[in-house]
Amino acid sequence: MSRVFITGSADGLGLMVARLLVKQGHNVVLHARHEQRAKETQTKLAGAEAIVTGDLSAIAQTMQLAEKLNDLGEFDAIIHNAAVGYRESKKLETPDGLPHLFAINSLAPYILTCLVHPPKRLIYLSSSVHTSGDDTLKDLTWNERRWSGYNAYSDSKLHDTILAFAIARKWKNVYSNAVDPGWVATKMGGPGAPDSLDEAPKTQVWLATSNDPKALVSGKYFYHQQERKAHPAASDEQIQDQFLHQCEKLSGIKLPAFS
């Protein structure tokens, strides 16, 4: 039995992963943006151990979420699932002055990784469109570029893959991997998404809990439990360090050493 925390698990793919984990007998801690969402989520999955709240678009609330998680104790796995999609038609800004999409999709996973006690396994949700992301890492906050929701989303999924691979390199005692769940018909994916909704949560559950030797790896990119090639930038140590440095500069939080 494993103890797993999933960000963005009040609905959609995160909730699907949680249901599958509970069905298999694992302990699951859910995450919702605020208390009202948490109350609604309780009716959707009564078997969860707990639900913690925090708005991942705000640095302060993300830090507070990390404190709540540490108060709950150690986790075997953390699945960084929370994200907003490419349909943001303009650059919405957070109270910290950051693009809403970047804050949730890219910076929040970094902050939580830095501040939550390291689990045995980390899973970061990526996407096939990460291959279209900007690997120069210039203008992460879109101060100079003309806003594009699709490009910002692609960038963020590349960021998540870079982060997964950077953690795999730096934290040798943690299995850290990225997952493309497919383009599926969730609220974010839209009704016309072509991939299998049934298959979409299975790789996250497998990486979080399985003792299959194929799951006990690190620094890999998966699609439907099969390794796929990621953008070459994700494996570039200089790019990894550049991304970590920029996240540290934006958040004021340094990735701790851990072995």
Beta strands across the sheet bearing 50-53: 50-53, 27-32, 3-6, 77-80, 121-125, 175-180, 221-223, 226-228
Tally Cβ neighbours within 10 Å of residue 125. Answer: 27
State the residue range of the domain holding 109.
3-251
Provide the greatest CA pair distance for the chain: 49
Return the structure tokens found at 48: 């969860």
The structural domain count of the chain equals: 1
CA dist., res. 229 & res. 21, Å (int): 27
Q: What is the mean pLDDT of the chain?
A: 94
DSSP per-residue string spanning 203-249: HHHHHHH---TTTS-SS-EEETTEEEPPPGGGG-HHHHHHHHHHHHH
- pLDDT value for 42: 87
Q: Which of 86, 91, 157, 170 is catalytic?
A: 157
Q: The whole model's pTM is what? A: 0.95
Is 43 a member of any domain?
Answer: yes
CA dist., res. 127 & res. 129, Å (int): 5
Is 256 a member of any domain?
Answer: no
Give CA angle at 199 (3, 127), nearest 5°. Answer: 85
9 near 22, Cβ under 8 Å? no
Q: How confident is the model at residue 186 (pLDDT cuts 50, 70, 90)?
A: low
Is 257 a member of any domain?
Answer: no
Return the structure tokens found at 168: 């795999």
**pLDDT of 47-76, one tens digit each?**
999 999 999 999 999 999 999 999 999 999
153 is known as an active-site residue: yes
Q: Which of 86, 153, 175, 221 is catalytic?
A: 153
**pLDDT of 99-136, one tens digit each?**
999 999 999 999 999 999 999 999 999 999 999 999 99
221 is known as an active-site residue: no
Tally Cβ neighbours within 10 Å of residue 105. Answer: 26
Give the CATH number for residue 231: 3.40.50.720
E-only strand ranges, the chain: 3-6, 27-32, 50-53, 77-80, 121-125, 175-180, 221-223, 226-228
